[in-house]
């Protein structure tokens, strides 16, 4: 067989295989919703789907709902094992699950409920995002506190977890700008 004829056969076989693969994949994607098809495409070609801002914004609501359970372990479950928590009402930097649970054992009896006042979400890549802004917490005794926040999230084994959480009370009114 001539080299030229062998190259043509190889080209035809490659085209045939590519057409078969595309046809099979198109049949799978056609039976799905656009979102499912996008996810399938990501899986098929080895890419993770980039999160959207709404997905990251919903993570605060998940955290706030965990606060409402009154269970420190439920809140701590939302943090990565090596997370760092710089909480609003404690001077102690929390760097492991035990310390994070300890903080929420003190904080949750106040029955906190948060509401975001302003937020800037930054999607860094398919598995990392940040949410920065201000929020207001109301407590069972009727008091409130406004604070600044930063949450950094990482998708670990398919689940978004908090890797860094910093919260600090807003500067006092009338205080000189820093």
For the cut 50, the answer to whether the pLDDT of residue 175 exceeds it is no
User: Does pTM top 0.85 for this prediction?
Assistant: no
Six-digit token string for 112:
């906190």
Tokens 């990482």 label which residue?
154
Q: Are 130 and 110 in contact (CB under 8 A)?
A: no
Q: Which residues pair with 79 in a beta bridge?
A: 162
For the chain, the maximum distance between any two Cα atoms, rounded to a whole number of angstroms, is 90
Q: Which two tokens stand for residue 55?
A: 């997905």
129-143 pLDDT, tens digit per residue, is: 999 999 999 999 999
DSSP element (H, E) containing 169: strand 159-169
- What local confidence, expressed as pLDDT, does residue 46 receive? 44
Indicate whether 176 pLDDT > 90: no
Please give the pLDDT value at position 50.
74
Q: Spell 53-88 as b/e; 16+ CB within 10 A means b.
A: eeebeebbeebbebbeeeebeebbebbbeebbbbbb
Q: DSSP string spanning 60-116?
A: HHHHHHHHHTT-HHHHHTTEEEEEEEE-TT-SSPB-SHHHHHHHHHHHGGG--EEEE
For the stretch 25-68, pLDDT in tens is 344 444 444 444 333 333 334 456 777 899 999 999 999 999 99
In the chain, % of residues over pLDDT 70: 69
pLDDT at 173: 54
Terminal alpha carbon distance of the chain = 81
Sign of the C-alpha dihedral computed for residues 42, 43, 44 and 45 taken in this order: positive
Taking CA atoms, 98 is separated from 10, 21, 29, 64, 69, in Å, by 62, 50, 45, 20, 18
Q: Provide the pLDDT confidence category of residue 100 given band limits of 50, 70 and 90.
A: very high
- 3-30 and 34-44 helices cross at what angle (nearest 10)? 140
Higher pLDDT, residue 162 or 19: 162
């Amino acid at each position: 067989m001539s080299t030229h004829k062998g190259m043509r056969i190889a080209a035809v076989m490659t085209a045939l295989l590519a057409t078969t693969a595309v046809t099979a994949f198109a049949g799978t994607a056609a039976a799905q919703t656009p979102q499912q098809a996008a996810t399938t495409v990501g899986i098929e070609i080895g890419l993770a789907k980039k999160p959207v801002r709404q997905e990251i914004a919903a993570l605060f609501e998940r955290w706030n709902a965990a606060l409402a359970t009154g269970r420190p372990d439920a809140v701590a479950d939302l943090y990565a094992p090596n997370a760092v928590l710089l909480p609003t009402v404690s001077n102690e930097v929390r760097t492991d699950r035990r310390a994070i649970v300890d903080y929420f054992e003190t904080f949750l009896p106040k029955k906190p409920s948060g509401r975001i006042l302003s937020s800037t979400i930054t999607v860094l890549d398919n598995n990392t995002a940040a949410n920065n802004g201000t929020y207001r917490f109301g407590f069972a005794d009727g008091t409130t506190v406004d604070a600044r926040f930063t949450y950094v999230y990482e998708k670990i084994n398919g689940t978004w977890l908090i890797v860094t959480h910093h919260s600090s009370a807003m500067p006092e009114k009338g205080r000189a700008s820093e």
